[in-house]
Amino acid sequence: MEPTTDEVSQNMFNCQLCSLSTPFTYYGQKPPNTRAIVLLEECFVTKDPFSPDRERFLILGSNCSVCHIPVCVGAGCSIFYTKRFCMQCVNKHMDQFPSQIQDELAKKKRSSKKGVS
Amino acid sequence: MSERRREGPSWDWDSPNCRAQMDQIFFRQHDYIQKGTTEHKEFWTFFERFQRFKTKKEMSGSGVAEGHRKEERDRKTTIDLGLPKDYDGRYRINISVCTKDVEERLGTGRSDQRNRHSSSGPRSQEIAACRLALLHFLDFNQRQSFGKLAKLRSEQKALPIYQYRDRIVELVQTHPVVVVAGDTGCGKSTQVPQYLLSSGFSHIACTQPRRIACISLAKRVSFESLNQYGSKVGYQIRFEGTRTPSTKLLFLTEGLLLRHIQADGALEQYQVLIVDEVHERHLHCDFLLGVLRSLLLCRPDLRLVLMSATINIKLFSDYFNSAPVLQVPGRLFPIQVMYQPIPAEEQPSRSEKLDPRPYLRVLQGIDQRYPPEERGDLLLFLSGVAEISTILEACQAYANHTKRWIVLPLHSTLSLAQQDKVFDIAPPGVRKCIISTNIAETSVTIDGVRFVVDSGKVKEMSFDPKAKMQRLQEFWISRASSEQRKGRAGRTGPGVCYRLYAESDYEAFASYPVPEIHRVALDSLILQMKSMGLGDPRSFIFIDPPPASSIQTAMTYLREQGALDPRGELTSMGSLLAQLPVDVVIGKMLVLGSVFNLVEPVLTVAAALSVQSPFLRSAQHNPDCATARQPLHSNQGDPFTLLNTFNAWVQVKGERGGASRKWCRRRGLEEQRLYEMVNLRRQFKELLRSHGLLEVLEERAPSGGGRGQRRERLTERRKLHQLKREHDLAEGGKRKVLRLEDGQEVDSGSDTDQDRRGKEATGGQDVDIQEVKFKLRHNLSELQEEAAASQDLSSRQQSLLKLLLCRGLYPQLALPDEHNANRKDSEQVFHTRNKQGVVIHPTSVFASDPEVLHVPEEGNREGPDKGDSSRHQLLAFVTLLETNKPYISNCVRVPALQALLLVANSLDSNADCTRLVVDGWLEVGLTGEGALNVLSAALTLRADWERLLLAQLGQGTLGAGGGSRAKSGGGLGVPGVSRKDLEKLADGLVRFLLYTEVSYSLCRLTGLQVQNLYVGPQPQTELSEGPAPNPLFPGKEVKPDPIKGGLRVTNYFTYNCLTDSKDLYSECLRTFWTCPHCDLYSPLTPLERMSHEATCKPPGEQQPCQDKEGEGVKAASSSSVAGLTRVYHCDVCNQDLTLTSTEILKHKRQHMHSGR
Ligand SMILES: [Zn+2]
Ligand SMILES: [Zn+2]
């Protein structure tokens, strides 16, 4: 009746920005049983808990391509645009992103402020 | 898109052929998404939407490239991120799909060879379009799932308990016992198990007082711990469970954990035990805590977490050696408390109905003060069902008038469909007014309640040990309950609580409710303690010890029931009863039934008596229901009505499957109860089997049929499993919006409404999930056979079954009052040993048909023998409950003298056995010759019955191993129970029950008579000089009874101890008698005669040999034998045979041998 280790020392993914924390089962670009599918970045992946199908994977996050912190894929923490960028780095280098993305982020900022006030 | 169509004339995205070609590339077998799956279907739907969206976008056009260039000019930063110049949505997706190999193999995707062959294969353009759509589809799915995960995590973090997460884990790691106290909404029940699980503990059990909570918590926690489709989190309740070897967290009921401890004393299988809702102080929970307290001594590694509302926390902490307490604030919105005591003129006096005015004033006040747009429902707490219907009526009249309320009742005797209604939503501008018992205080949680009205009253069950009666009485609630009720107003927003009592009343309330252990009969508890080897129950350290008198009462009762021996140790019957999760009386029935091969009907009756009645009260006054029910009624008693109902239901199920729902509705039956019965019945059967009380039939070859049929069955099972999964996934489902009329149905069982609900509950498809579960769990044809075996009982079987029920229910017997024949039907009175003047519950069959209990006028009788008859009857009953009157319910009628002689614990006689006193309260007056015959016959039958029962209990197997010898028995080797012995006994009992034509008087003893009943110990006579051998039971001794006087012939029969007794051997008692078996003819005393009868057996029995047993006996018992047989279809002979179960076994074995 030793505490099983699979949970404690189990690989945990922790988003550095929102502190979302959940175990991952695979890190890399080719999750198991995905056949033709390849990921374009090294990702923290787990089995999709909301799908009855065992083989469905769910990407939790990856490391920011600029500052290398782990961030989740949530829209508030990172964006993917050919590479992963954490929100801190996006803000720092906003000008290099296409206007579509800039507009989108600006809009989001406005609406979230409205939501708070 | 239009252009594309033109260029590739043969490419059409809507054509199945074109899609099939894409499927070959992207959705092959073994691909992430495969052709034919739901996801595949979803993709093509997504594809269509995606194409439409793209076209729309293309048409509106955009200056993407330009915009980007502008950005480039403004660039100031030092690092170049190396982003592409032109924006493309494709760059936002971190997934790619490589299909090059397939494309090459298929030779598709060549943009240059447009006209090659006449083939219409896709070109690279189409493949690219499909690939892009697929990427967006995959990305969309990723976002959806991640969104769910993120939402889940943020909700978890928002719970008040989240801040204490690390602290809780640390405490549990460092202390054997931890108390977590938190109020409603703090999240302890869902979160604490998860915290422990994710910090490395496994093998966690979490107990709940209610079964339903086990299921819903397991569902919720497995979802939250991202294991919705795994079995890491499971539950286990009475009939079902989801536990597998990989289950790490198990939700189970308190009772079930206790049973686990019974089986595995150290509870090795668990590392952590969480006992939730300890503050509710249920009997099982209090006991469980006591057991765990001592278990911790031998399991120092075990971790125990008690979870409680913030009530009386110190009690729990102190009980466990000052265990650390962690208090978590609840999440309740502010609630305004208004004290509105009921003015004196509106106070109901006793026996009067409640005055609805104080309640109506609250409704009016809400209507005046709060605009209807401001939503919020009202929850009104009353003490009982009668109170609810009074106030319901008044509120409905008010609602009718204002059209602003929908009034709904809520209590446990409503049908489940009706109970379910309180969760539906009121239309805009209308509020729900739910009038409830305290079921809504903890068990049922209704969201959206803003107003609470608290009457301050509760009806609680208590046990009166003197009258051996349960009592339902109204009390003031405790402050803890009062706070709990108030809290129901603040779950979803700020609320108001109207207390219909004064603040000073509130202050005077008890702090806490009286724990169950102080209110109820402790029979089952003590039995369980005994079987767990916990020693003397009086010295067990309870958290709050029950009164010693309660324990004493229970011990005495268990001794009377034969579950404990005179020294208070468990008998073999007792240890068996302790394994059965039912009342002692029901358990006894089961054991007795299995001995006589009347097991099928007994199983049904025992199950039926252990669940709530399936007959809905509300339907009783519906003439259509009453008519439809009529054929189910049996005037033998309520258990027989239940038996008929169950059997008829099984037949309907067999013939028409799901149509049983309608069948039930017609008859005002709650089908859920029948499902519970069939489940419980099966559990009983398995228990009996595992204790060797039932033959284990060899695994049935899936009853006949070739491989084709078997495959068909398999397919059906798979389909059923699929249906069940779909149902489980369609979590909760959407709530229906109520209509104003919904509150108006005073008559409950309205057809259309329940029908509508049944369908809705299963999400529109006409799937009855209960039916699905039923089919998965039971083999219908087997069940039909079992039902058929107990359907048309012969009168012999029926009377034997009645005797078994009576012996099971003993000492719960009631005597009809002698004047009942002259009273109105509604005024029939009965007496039990401890309580005079009880009445039959109106739901009983005898309430509407009491004549069958009256002693028929027997011709030209006169003089002093006026009360004499051979047709006196008694009622054996299951419950005695006092509400406004003491009611007995679930009754069965039995012939009085025969039943008493066969089951009573104490029979006392005078010298010539013409006067018998039974259990010190009933007096039987017999005349002359008949008296001795009947008594002697009863003694012989009882001895045989006891011997066979003991042999069976000790031996454990029956029939199959006919030759084996039993170990138990009073010093003498008891021969193995043979089928023949049993049949002979059954036959004897039946004859005794049906053909004893002795006229006798039957009445209760008066108080004065009871005081002067016995002669008491006598001075030494010649008899007691040396212990005389007991001729009736060789090997035992007849001793003078030290208290009653007279001679103790058996443990239940004391001869000649009644005060009017004459001298034992006085000549006048000798009468000439001829033995029917030998040629003896001489004057004998009653005792001498009985002893001769006991030893002088008819020649056939002394030499049990087939030939001598002869045709006569066979013929005599043929009808009872016929009852024990059933039709068996032998696949080998391809014949229908009528055989007993043993014969079936023999028959099968014969084939096995010849087959070799
Ligand atoms: Zn994040
Ligand atoms: Zn970064």
pLDDT tens digit string along B973-1000? 334 567 888 889 999 999 999 988 888 9
pLDDT value of position B290: 96
> Between the CA atoms of B149, B152, B157 and B162, what dihedral angle is there, to the nearest 10 degrees?
-110
Q: Give domain status of residue A19, yes or no.
A: yes
Looking at chain A, the whole-number percentage of residues with pLDDT higher than 90 is: 67
pLDDT value of position B750: 42
Pairing of strands A83-86, B1125-1130: unpaired
pLDDT value of position B1140: 58
Nearest Cα residue to B950 out of B562, B657, B579, B460: B562
Over residues B288-331, the pLDDT tens digits come to 999 999 999 999 999 999 999 888 899 999 999 999 999 998 77
Q: Give domain status of residue A52, yes or no.
A: yes
Nearest Cα residue to B650 out of B663, B635, B667, B633: B663
CB atoms within 10 A of CB B781: 12
pLDDT at B746 over 60: no
Measured in Å, how far apart are chain A's first and last C-alpha atoms? 52
Over residues B1026-1068, the pLDDT tens digits come to 444 444 444 456 778 888 888 888 889 988 888 875 554 454 5
- What residue type is B289 in one-letter code? L
Measured in degrees and rounded to the nearest 5, phi and psi for residue B158 equal -80, -10
3-state secondary structure (DSSP) of residue B1099: helix
Nearest Cα residue to B249 out of B267, B227, B277, B268: B227
The mean per-residue pLDDT over the stretch B889-912 comes to 93
CA B341 – CA B353 distance, rounded (Å):
18
- Which candidate in B32, B99, B202, B227 is best for mutational testing of the A interface (most A CBs within 10 A)? B32
CA B793 – CA B990 distance, rounded (Å):
13
Q: Please give the residue of chain B at the shortest CA–CA distance from A33.
A: B32
Burial class (CB within 10 angstroms; exposed 0-12, middle 13-18, buried 19+) of B1105: exposed
Over residues B356-401, the pLDDT tens digits come to 999 999 999 999 999 999 999 999 999 988 899 999 999 999 999 9
Give the start-end residues of each E strand in B313-390: 325-328, 335-339, 377-381
Looking at chain B, the whole-number percentage of residues with pLDDT higher than 90 is: 42
Q: Please give the residue of chain A at the shortest CA–CA distance from B152.
A: A20
CB B285 within 8 A of CB B275: yes
Over residues B544-598, the pLDDT tens digits come to 999 999 999 999 999 988 899 988 899 888 988 988 888 889 999 998 988 887 8
pLDDT at B824 over 80: yes
pLDDT at B632 over 90: yes
| Residues A59, B146: C-beta atoms closer than 8 Å | yes
pLDDT grade for B1002, boundaries at 50, 70 and 90: very high
Interface of B with A in 377-416 (CB under 8 A): none
Whether residue B851 is found in the same domain as residue B792: no
Per mean pLDDT, which of B321-335, B856-870, B1069-1083, B1118-1132 is the most reliable? B321-335
How much distance in Å is there from the Cα of A87 to the middle of ligand 2?
7
pLDDT grade for B101, boundaries at 50, 70 and 90: confident
Q: What is the ipTM of this complex?
A: 0.93
| Residues A72, B150: C-beta atoms closer than 8 Å | yes
Whether residue B664 is found in the same domain as residue B691: yes
Q: Please give the residue of chain B at the shortest CA–CA distance from A62.
A: B94
Cross-chain CB nearest to A74 (options B91, B146, B226): B146
A99 interface with B at CB cutoff 8 Å: yes
- Which candidate in B23, B64, B83 is best for mutational testing of the A interface (most A CBs within 10 A)? B83
The mean per-residue pLDDT over the stretch B495-508 comes to 96
| Residues B153, A34: C-beta atoms closer than 8 Å | no
Domain end residue (candidates: B895, B930, B945): B895
Q: Give domain status of residue B1121, yes or no.
A: no
Cross-chain CB nearest to B227 (options A49, A58, A81): A49
Whether residue B135 is found in the same domain as residue B228: no
Alpha helices in chain A (DSSP H): 5-8, 87-92, 99-116
Tell me the ligand closest to A75's alpha carbon. 1
pLDDT value of position B421: 87
| Cβ-based contacts of A72 with chain B (< 8 Å) | 146, 150
3-state secondary structure (DSSP) of residue B55: helix
pLDDT grade for B1097, boundaries at 50, 70 and 90: low
Name the residue range of residue B141's domain: 3-57+89-145
pLDDT grade for B793, boundaries at 50, 70 and 90: confident
Packing angle between helix B979-995 and helix B795-809, nearest 10 degrees?
Answer: 90
| Tokens (6 digits) for B851 | 């004549």
Cross-chain CB nearest to A50 (options B77, B83, B148): B148
> Residue B973 contacts by C-beta under 8 Å, 6 or more apart in sequence?
B965, B966
Asked if omega into B842 is within 30° of 0 (cis), the reply is no
| Residues B83, A81: C-beta atoms closer than 8 Å | yes
Q: Please give the residue of chain B at the shortest CA–CA distance from A30.
A: B95
pLDDT at B762 over 70: no
Name the residue range of residue A15's domain: 5-88
> B319-323, B452-456, B863-867, B1057-1061: which range is least confident on average?
B863-867
| Cβ-based contacts of A95 with chain B (< 8 Å) | 71, 74-77
| Residues A37, B87: C-beta atoms closer than 8 Å | no
**Distance between B91 CA and the closest CA of chain A, angstroms:** 5
CA B302 – CA B266 distance, rounded (Å):
10
Q: Give domain status of residue B540, yes or no.
A: yes
More confident: B447 or A69: A69
Whether residue B270 is found in the same domain as residue B318: yes
Whether residue B545 is found in the same domain as residue B506: no
How much distance in Å is there from the Cα of A87 to the middle of ligand 1?
9
The mean per-residue pLDDT over the stretch B916-929 comes to 88
Q: Which CATH number belongs to the domain containing residue B407 in this structure?
A: 3.40.50.300
| Tokens (6 digits) for A90 | 């996006």
Q: Give domain status of residue B305, yes or no.
A: yes
CA B210 – CA B253 distance, rounded (Å):
6
Strand-pairing partners, residue B1071, are B1084
Q: What is the DSSP letter of B353?
A: P
How much distance in Å is there from the Cα of A90 to the middle of ligand 1?
14
Q: Give domain status of residue B68, yes or no.
A: no
B71 interface with A at CB cutoff 8 Å: yes
pLDDT grade for B1129, boundaries at 50, 70 and 90: confident
Instruction: Quote the pTM value.
Output: 0.79
3-state secondary structure (DSSP) of residue B538: helix
| Cβ-based contacts of B71 with chain A (< 8 Å) | 95-99, 102
Whether residue B799 is found in the same domain as residue B846: no
Interface of A with B in 18-77 (CB under 8 A): 18, 20-22, 33-41, 43, 46, 48-56, 58-60, 62, 66, 72-74
Q: Give domain status of residue A100, yes or no.
A: no
pLDDT value of position B753: 44
Whether residue B452 is found in the same domain as residue B401: yes
* DSSP per-residue string spanning B182-236: E-TTS-HHHHHHHHHHHTT--SEEEEESSHHHHHHHHHHHHHHTT-TTSSSEEEE
- Residues at Cβ < 5 Å from ligand 2 ion: A 64, 66-67, 86, 89
How much distance in Å is there from the Cα of A73 to the middle of ligand 1?
7
Packing angle between helix B523-531 and helix B254-263, nearest 10 degrees?
Answer: 30
Per mean pLDDT, which of B74-88, B118-132, B347-361, B474-488 is the most reliable? B474-488
CB B596 within 8 A of CB B605: no
Phi/psi region, residue B61 (left: phi>0; alpha: psi -120 to 50; beta: rest), is left
Whether residue B237 is found in the same domain as residue B322: yes
| Cβ-based contacts of A97 with chain B (< 8 Å) | 71, 83
Measured in degrees and rounded to the nearest 5, phi and psi for residue B1089 equal -70, -45
Q: Give domain status of residue B800, yes or no.
A: yes
pLDDT value of position B1027: 44
CB atoms within 10 A of CB B540: 19
Q: Please give the residue of chain B at the shortest CA–CA distance from A82.
A: B91
Domain end residue (candidates: B774, B804, B834): B804
pLDDT grade for B1106, boundaries at 50, 70 and 90: very low
Total structural domains within chain A: 1
Interface of B with A in 182-201 (CB under 8 A): 197-201
pLDDT at B221 over 60: yes
Whether residue B538 is found in the same domain as residue B556: yes
pLDDT grade for B1156, boundaries at 50, 70 and 90: very low
Q: Give domain status of residue B1043, yes or no.
A: no
Between the alpha carbon of residue B968 and those of residues B451, B569, B593, B948, the distances in Å are 65, 16, 20, 10
pLDDT value of position B747: 44
Q: Please give the residue of chain B at the shortest CA–CA distance from A51.
A: B229
Q: Give domain status of residue B277, yes or no.
A: yes
Whether residue B261 is found in the same domain as residue B362: no
> Residue B1044 contacts by C-beta under 8 Å, 6 or more apart in sequence?
B908, B1013, B1014, B1015, B1016, B1054, B1057
pLDDT grade for B675, boundaries at 50, 70 and 90: very high
B103 interface with A at CB cutoff 8 Å: no
pLDDT at B532 over 70: yes
Q: Please give the residue of chain A at the shortest CA–CA distance from B94.
A: A40
Total structural domains within chain B: 6
pLDDT value of position B952: 80
Whether residue B507 is found in the same domain as residue B520: no
**Distance between B30 CA and the closest CA of chain A, angstroms:** 7
Average pLDDT score over chain B: 82
CB B856 within 8 A of CB B871: yes
Q: Give domain status of residue B684, yes or no.
A: yes
Q: Which CATH number belongs to the domain containing residue B547 in this structure?
A: 1.10.10.2130
**Distance between B99 CA and the closest CA of chain A, angstroms:** 6
Interface of B with A in 290-349 (CB under 8 A): 301
A114 interface with B at CB cutoff 8 Å: no
Tell me the ligand closest to A84's alpha carbon. 2
Q: Give domain status of residue A24, yes or no.
A: yes
pLDDT at B527 over 60: yes
Burial class (CB within 10 angstroms; exposed 0-12, middle 13-18, buried 19+) of B839: middle
Whether residue B291 is found in the same domain as residue B196: yes
What's the gap between Cα B144 and its chain centre?
Answer: 40
* DSSP per-residue string spanning B917-978: EETTTEEEE--HHHHHHHHHHHHHHHHHHHHHHHHHHHH---STTTTPPPS-SSSSPPPP--
CA B425 – CA B448 distance, rounded (Å):
9
CA B985 – CA B429 distance, rounded (Å):
72
Q: Please give the residue of chain B at the shortest CA–CA distance from A80.
A: B92
